[in-house]
Amino acid sequence: MTDTDTQKPPRAIGKSRWALIIFLFVAASLLTAYVLLRGSTDIRKLTEQVYLIQSTSPLFPHGSNSIAVQTNNGIVLIDTQLAIWTGRVNDAIVKTLGAPPSTVVNTHWHTDHSGGNDQLTEAADIVAHENVLALLSRPHEGFGLTEPGSHHTYDPREKDGLPETVYDGLLTLAPMRSGGLVEIVHFPHAHTDGDSVVFIDDEKVVAVGDIVWPGSFPFIDVHNGGDAIGLLAAIDVILARTNPQSIIVGGHRDPTTQAELAAYRAQIAETIEIIRTAKAAGKSLAEITNEGLPGQYASLSGDTVPEATWISMVYQSLE
């Protein structure tokens, strides 16, 4: 009898053990993704009867913003944030203001602004521009949440997630307790074709959705009516209506001032002119992307909208 005869063959891992290992690996990955996505939510007072609710997480360090406004007809919530955060947004409002929102405004269709509609629709009327309802009611093209520029086809939204009240042009909500106005204004071709900007308490606070991304190139949803030139026009109207004391709140990142928005508008306009001039000289998108923008705009190139994505969105807007 040799040594090898007495050695047992190595035990193969059985099918069921492999299944368990794979299950544990997938479960751990999902749990990690959930923890990285979940993050935290804070609420703070901006002015009398106007509150900012910000959620951030390791996966979305620039987070999402909502605004809550106390009006004569209950609390108006502007944007639901991602569905995973909507419950916390609602809880923060109930805890601080004593009641859930009775009106929800979607500044546009993107899921990080309207994804939690179905969680709030029982207590609240969901309001948006008519193009948001039209888009969410049919299969629609959009971008993937994590990859800028990537395509994703969204199914039509379930009825509970759809806006119930739509408007075109201008919609005035119930006034604030102070008497200040809450006006929703449509901007036809900016970040999307269904952008609403909410002027609150006579411009003391302005919720601009994703028309303004402070400190970063903005995203233009060119698949759904967004347009870089229209976005500039929208910023011009916002600048004209606001004053040095106005608090301008984008859908992401910290609020900005009128002076900061004017400086941002200038930078965005300059980059559009550079791309327009290059395109008019016959340069292709690939050539312009390859050359890049002058170094002074490098700080605007962000994770969500890197410089190449911005050049591509502007190039398509100029077609």
Q: Does 62 participate in binding Zn ion (rule CB under 5 A)?
A: no
Which helix (H) or strand (E) element contains residue 233? helix 228-241
Could you count the other beta carbons within 10 Å of the beta carbon of residue 138? 10
Please state the closest distance from residue 294 (CB atom) to Zn ion, in A: 27
Q: Does 195 bind Zn ion (CB under 5 A)?
A: no
As a whole number of angstroms, the distance between CA 247 and CA 159 comes to: 34
Asked if 193 interacts with Zn ion (CB under 5 A), we say no
Least Å from the CB of residue 131 to Zn ion: 14
7-15, 104-112, 253-261, 307-315 -> range binding Zn ion (CB under 5 A): 104-112
CA 273/CA 275 separation, integer angstroms:
5
For Zn ion (CB under 5 A), the number of binding residues is 2
Least Cβ distance, residue 279 to Zn ion (angstroms): 25
List the one residue out of 108, 305, 96, 82 whose CA is nearest residue 197: 108
How distant, in Å, are the alpha carbons of 52, 79, 89, 90, 206 from that of 95?
A: 14, 18, 10, 9, 24
Estimate the crossing angle of helix 258-280 against helix 228-241, to 10 degrees. 150
Between 56 and 71, whose beta carbon lies closer to Zn ion? 56
Under the criterion CB under 5 A, does residue 110 sit at the interface with Zn ion?
yes
By beta-carbon proximity to Zn ion, the closer residue of 65 and 289 is 65
Those residues with Cβ within 8 angstroms of residue 275's Cβ, 6 or more apart along the chain or in another chain:
288, 311, 314, 315, 318
Least distance from C-beta 49 to Zn ion, angstroms? 26
Nearer to Zn ion, 278 or 310 (CB): 310
**Greatest pairwise CA separation for the chain in angstroms:** 100
Q: How far is the CB of 104 from Zn ion (least distance, A)?
A: 16
User: Does 210 interact with Zn ion (rule: CB under 5 A)?
Assistant: yes
Residues 222-281 that bind Zn ion (CB under 5 A): none
Write out the residues near Zn ion by the rule CB under 5 A. Answer: 110, 210
